[in-house]
Amino acid sequence: MKRTSLNVNGVERWVVAEKRATLADVLREQMLLTGCKVCCEDGQCGACTVIIDEKPVRACLTPLEKVAANARITTIEGIGTPDRLHPLQVAWMAHGSAQCGICTPGFIMSAKVLLDRKQNPTREEVRSWFQRNRNLCRCTGYKPLVDAVMDAAAVMRGEKRIEDLVPKAKEDGSILGTEFIRPSALAKVTGTWDFGADVALRMPEGTLRLALVQAEVSHALIKGIDVSEAEAMPGVVKVLTWKDVKGKNAITGLITFPTNKGDGWDRPILCKDKIFQFGDAIAIVAADTEEHARAAAKHVKVDLEVLPAYMSGFAALEPDAIEIHPGVPNAYYEQGVVKGQDTRPFFEKAAAVVDITTYCSRQPHLHLEPDCGEAFIDDDGVVTILSKSIGLHLHHAMICPGIGVAPEKLRIIQNPTGGTFGYKFSPTMEALLGVAVLALGKPVSLIYDQYQNITYTGKRSPVNLNIRLACDDDGKLTAMETDWWLDHGPYSEFGDLVTLRQAQFTGAGYHLENIRGRGRTVATNHAWGSAFRGYGSPQAFLASETAMDMLAEKMGEDPFEFRYKNLYNENSTTPTGQKPEVLVLKQLFDMIRPKYEEAKARCKALSTAEKKRGVGISLGIYGCGLDGPDSSNARAELTPTGVTIYNAWEDHGQGADLGTLTMAHEVLRHAGFKPSDIKLDLNDTRGPDSGPAGGSRSNVFTGQATRVAAEMLLNAMRKEDGTYRTYKEMVAENIPLVYDGKWVAAACTDCTSDTAQGAPFPIYMYEVFLPEVEVDMETGKVQVVKFTTAVDVGTIINKATVDGQIYGGLAQGIGLALSEDFEDLEMHNTLRDCGIPYPKDVPDEMEILYLETPRELGPFGSAGCGEAPLTAPHPAILNAIYNACGVRIFRIPALPEVVKMGLDQLRAAQAPVAEPEHA
């Protein structure tokens, strides 16, 4: 331990710190300068970037003892305050560059050094700078960040005024469709948006710090657990096992009966008899410090009988595979598709048939903020859990029986959240925190490191999908047959629905009246399947959008035009037999056609023997909502100072706060309310149940519920002469001040498990993808050099938000196509090794063409938008690779070695066959 002086943000300060402490530890834990975020602790993400003597430094990699005595350290807290912001901070807010905001302080600090050195960088220089300094962002696709730096630089050069960066409301005061800044932006750019790990540092004295004892094998029987040695370790208060769980010790979620062959209660909170996957929680150590808890966790002895691990659907479906959940077959749910006529005759008389199998990977979410949370028992005896949950009321129902608490004695509140992309649709640590706080009776906090975050949270469920697609002599699709399995890991929660998604979206977008298919959900010992942006649709479109390209080729037609003539028309229904709510695909294709022609010409002109360019096309569609008659609730309350809106539109980083504000303001502005008069009280199970923020449903459902609540209030305030009562007048006239709004998709129906026919979603989002790629013919490395997309998400509620959602989704699509995977537990366990795209992996040239077709059922005509960009960017990239070099990829990611192998095979096939030698 050592007493050290540090000059932080211009002030000389003293700390007594451990010798091995990093600068990040000291700034965060001792000085509570939590604007320095820590996500990877490994130098990979740049979230912890601070400035030391005009250099960007990753504080997690910097031992305190290496910081020179006279060094000047600057953190985000030192560059601007809310009333005196740095131009970078204003530009970041103006461009919607802080989505979840966990990367924001690191990027701003990094950019500040660049602009202090060079006030007129090119966009490419900005991107190279971020790449060099390892600044990672998972939300924005990087383009809005570069836009922000360019604008801040213009301000610093005196070419723009800082006020000009701030977007304005419309003349009538409406903020609908503008780039109005989200309410949380100021806290995000000043480093004061407290994420869960920051909250943990501010918990009261006596808070116990938790660490998990986790499985290091993927499948085993537990013969015994010995906690005695661990309990004797320094600082340890108790080690909790299944014996300490007061409830059922299991989690369940949204499975269908009797079609699902299990009972749904298959995920243990703390394993008792069996390990089902790597990382499974076996015990929880509670100690005075996290360090002590983690040290003791290593001393819990678990006696195991290791079983064969089934790490894929292929393995778990082998006839000799044992049942992962004894008594339940590994293929535990079946989904059929039956639409139109028998497909066989169409295949017999088809002009062309494509018969392929595609495999969509176990894509990891790679949200930067590791999972974290806190729990305490409040003064009324209510167990209160703070977490990253994006399904507050859903999780409440999912964990109450498991932890053993009465529903009215459990409350869950969402912490500011550093991205989830859907993994938090499953409760992760909520139940563990609940078990611990009930057993210990003390406040607790649990923070995963990035390794735990990657290895012990849900992943996209891989799908192996065989598709047969037929067309007639005119190139019109006649029939489709599909057969698939979905590897859902060991736990059944939400597995039936993602299996159904294959039926709903394979072949979607096309006039295709005859479909037969069957799929099954398979239990394996790999990571459990959780929701991931696009939920099921990327697997489906990988198959049908690859098949469409191949069928076009067989018919000798251009893949664009072949698609065009098969798009939904007035007589079409979706694969589930639902009438599309709008017909927009032809218009989207018409909009993007000139870009396609330009791209083809450009690729031809720029291709060389060493680097070949190609252009690809695909379409993607996704439904807004959970299946069937989904609903949402919100509340509006008139207060002496304005209006407070309550809902549970959970915020991953997508902008729930701004969505809520815009919906409410668009109604309330008629009574003279300004955005600043509207207060938001969101994301607490004590408030209205708005359902989870998944299925791109919130903008539609919670947007509508919020609009309805605001309208009810407005109606109550309206006087006969058309003016509005004040708060005082409402009170004087004894008119209620609080209004509960509800919105139900009443006309929707569930899809059946045998035919998949139904009308599951009230509104769909539509997108066309047009990437251009460059393939290195030597190494097989693929670079997406430009991405154009045409999108219809209805009326745009906030332009900066939607732009950001689309750019960010496309970047994830590039990762899905080319680099991201979570397959090999030894290899895929850091952000970088899982293939997360860095700035240079995503093109700066991303162009969005919008068509705003108002949706009758959407609030102010809007659909959702979050998942549209990750429905089908990847098959378009694969189609572009084929267009560039002739290699067809059926399994993603298309790593350089995979493409290279394809190139080698092509070359071998094209090589002249040697003449046989004759004696």
> Contact, 794 vs 862, CB < 8 A?
yes
Q: What's the closest the beta carbon of residue 45 comes to ligand FES, in angstroms?
A: 3
805 near ligand FES, rule: CB under 6 A: no
- Is 866 one of the binding residues for ligand MCN (CB under 6 A)? yes
For the stretch 366-381, what's the b/e string if a residue is b when 16 or more beta carbons lie within 10 angstroms of its beta carbon?
A: bbbbbbbbbbbbeeee
Q: Output the 3-class SS for 611-653.
A: EEEEECCEEEEEEECCCCCCEEEEEEEEECCEEEEEECCCCCC
Stretch that binds ligand FES, among 136-144, 437-445, 658-666, 669-677 (CB under 6 A): 136-144
**CA 546 to mean position of chain CA atoms:** 24
Residue 60 binds ligand FES, judged by CB under 6 A: yes
Cα–Cα distances (Å) from 194 to 91, 101, 451, 725, in that order, read: 21, 10, 22, 38
Asked whether position 420 contacts ligand MCN by CB under 6 A, the answer is yes
Kindly state whether residue 458 participates in binding ligand MCN, applying the rule CB under 6 A.
Answer: no
Show the site string, 649-668: x = touches ligand FES by CB under 6 A, - = not: ----x---------------
In the three-class reduction of DSSP (H, G, I as helix; E, B as strand; rest coil), residue 228 is classed as: helix
> Does 790 help bind ligand MCN (rule: CB under 6 A)?
no
Q: Which stretch binds ligand FES (CB under 6 A): 132-140, 155-163, 385-393, 612-620?
A: 132-140
Query: Which two structure tokens, joined as six digits, stand for 804?
Result: 């950001």
| In the complex, least distance from residue 39 CB atom to ligand MCN, rounded to whole angstroms | 14
The smaller minimum CB distance to ligand MCN, of residues 80 and 620, is found at 620
Q: Phi/psi at 892 (nearest 5 deg)?
A: -105, 155
Which does residue 866 bind out of ligand MCN, ligand FES, none, counting CB within 5 to 8 angstroms by kind?
ligand MCN
**Interaction between residue 154 and ligand FES (CB under 6 A):** no
Residue 364 found at the interface with ligand FES (CB under 6 A): no
Residue 590: partners with Cβ closer than 8 Å, 6 or more residues away: none
Q: Which residue shows structure tokens 């923070």?
A: 447
Angle between helices 104-117 and 123-132 in degrees, nearest 10: 120
Would you give the end-to-end CA distance of the chain in angstroms? 85
Q: Is 793 in the site for ligand MCN (CB under 6 A)?
A: yes
Site string for ligand MCN, 91-120 (x = CB under 6 A): --------xx--------------------
Contact, 760 vs 627, CB < 8 A? yes
User: Which of ligand MCN, ligand FES, none does 102 bind, CB closer than 5 to 8 A by kind?
Assistant: ligand FES
Q: What contacts 839, CB < 8 A, 6 or more positions away?
A: 127, 130, 131, 135, 142
Among the listed residues 106, 434, 536, 659, the single contact to ligand MCN using CB under 6 A: 659
Measured CA to CA, the distance from residue 882 to residue 548 in angstroms comes to 13
Instruction: Pick the closest to residue 702 from 647, 654, 762, 627 (CA basis).
Output: 647
What's the token pair of residue 60? 């997690």
Helix (H) or strand (E) holding 849: strand 846-850
Which secondary-structure segment (H or E) carries 292?
Answer: helix 290-297
In the complex, the smallest distance separating the C-beta of residue 40 from ligand FES, rounded to whole angstroms, is 3
Residue 410 tokens read as 């459990």
Contacts of 326 (CB under 8 A, 6+ apart): none
694 contributes a contact to ligand MCN by CB under 6 A: yes
Pattern 487-526, ligand MCN, x by CB under 6 A: ----------------------------------------
Question: Which window, 42-50, 176-184, 253-261, 676-684, contacts ligand FES (CB under 6 A)?
Answer: 42-50
The single residue among 115, 508, 811, 865 that binds ligand MCN, judged by CB under 6 A, is: 865
Min. distance of Cβ 162 from ligand MCN in angstroms?
Answer: 25
Q: Which of 8, 26, 38, 181 binds ligand FES (CB under 6 A)?
A: 38
Number of residues this chain uses to bind ligand FES (CB under 6 A):
25
C-beta of residue 618 within 8 angstroms of C-beta of residue 564: no
Query: What's 320's DSSP letter?
Result: T
Told to check if 620 binds ligand FES by CB under 6 A, we report no
Q: Which of 699, 753, 819, 829 binds ligand MCN (CB under 6 A)?
A: 699
Strand partners, 334: 520
Residue 96 interacting with ligand FES (CB under 6 A): no
Burial of 907 (0-12, 13-18, 19+ CB in 10 A): exposed
Q: Give the residue with the Cβ less far from ligand MCN, 762 or 780.
A: 762
Size of the site for ligand MCN (CB under 6 A): 39
CB 95 within 8 A of CB 148: yes
46/691 with CB nearer ligand FES = 46
User: Using the rule CB under 6 A, is 537 a contact of ligand MCN?
Assistant: no
**Using rule CB under 6 A, residue 869 touches ligand MCN:** no
139 interacts with ligand MCN by CB under 6 A:
yes
Span 422-441, contacts to ligand FES by CB under 6 A: none
> Order of strands across the sheet with 678-682?
678-682, 642-647, 631-639, 738-744
Taking CB under 6 A as the binding criterion, the range among 134-142, 147-155, 258-266, 685-693 that sits at the site for ligand FES is 134-142
Check residue 327 and report its DSSP letter. T
Amino acid at position 820, single letter = E
Q: What are 793's two structure tokens?
A: 């998400």
Segment interacting with ligand MCN (CB under 6 A) among 38-46, 449-457, 580-588, 647-655: 647-655
Return the one option of ligand FES, ligand MCN, none that residue 865 interacts with (CB less than 5 to 8 A, by type): ligand MCN
Tell me if residue 332 falls in helix, strand or coil. strand
Q: Which two tokens stand for residue 299?
A: 């001393």
Helix (H, G, I), strand (E, B) or coil at 548: helix
Provide the CA 529 distance to its chain's centre, in angstroms: 14
- Which of these segments, 85-93, 286-294, 696-704, 898-906, binds ligand MCN (CB under 6 A)? 696-704
- Which of 387, 428, 464, 862 binds ligand MCN (CB under 6 A)? It is 862
48 forms part of the interface with ligand FES (CB under 6 A): yes
Q: Compute CA distances 172 → 148, 390, 712, 854, whole Å.
A: 27, 34, 22, 21
Give how far Cα 276 sits from Cα of 3, 46, 269, 521, 526, Å.
48, 34, 12, 16, 8
Nearest CB to ligand FES, comparing residues 49 and 312: 49
Looking at residues 330 to 389 of the shown chain, list those that interact with ligand MCN (rule: CB under 6 A): 367
Nearest to 6 by CA among 26, 35, 32: 26
* The pair of three-digit structure tokens given for residue 203, joined into one six-digit string: 């918990």
Nearer to ligand FES, 86 or 365 (CB): 365
List active site positions: 867
Beta strand pairing call for 220-226 and 274-275: antiparallel
Minimum Å distance from CB 44 to ligand FES? Answer: 5
* Of 17, 21, 23, 45, the one binding ligand FES by CB under 6 A: 45
Binding piece for ligand MCN, criterion CB under 6 A, among 17-25, 479-487, 781-789, 864-872 = 864-872
Residue 101 binding target from ligand MCN, ligand FES, none, CB below 5 to 8 Å by type? ligand FES
- β-pair type (208-214, 72-74): unpaired
Tokens (6 digits) for 303? 């006696």
Minimum CB separation from ligand FES for residue 82, in Å? 19
52 binds ligand MCN (CB under 6 A): no
| Contact stretch for ligand FES (CB under 6 A) within 46-54, 84-92, 322-330, 513-521 | 46-54
Q: Which does 62 bind (CB under 5 to 8 A by kind): ligand FES, ligand MCN, none?
A: none
Tell me if 844 sits within 8 A of 57, measured CB to CB: no
Q: Is residue 797 involved in binding ligand MCN (CB under 6 A)?
A: yes
Binding site for ligand FES (CB under 6 A): 38-41, 43-48, 58, 60, 98-103, 137-140, 368, 419, 653
Binding site for ligand MCN (CB under 6 A): 99-100, 139, 367, 419-422, 533, 652-656, 658-659, 693-699, 793-798, 801-802, 805, 808, 862-867
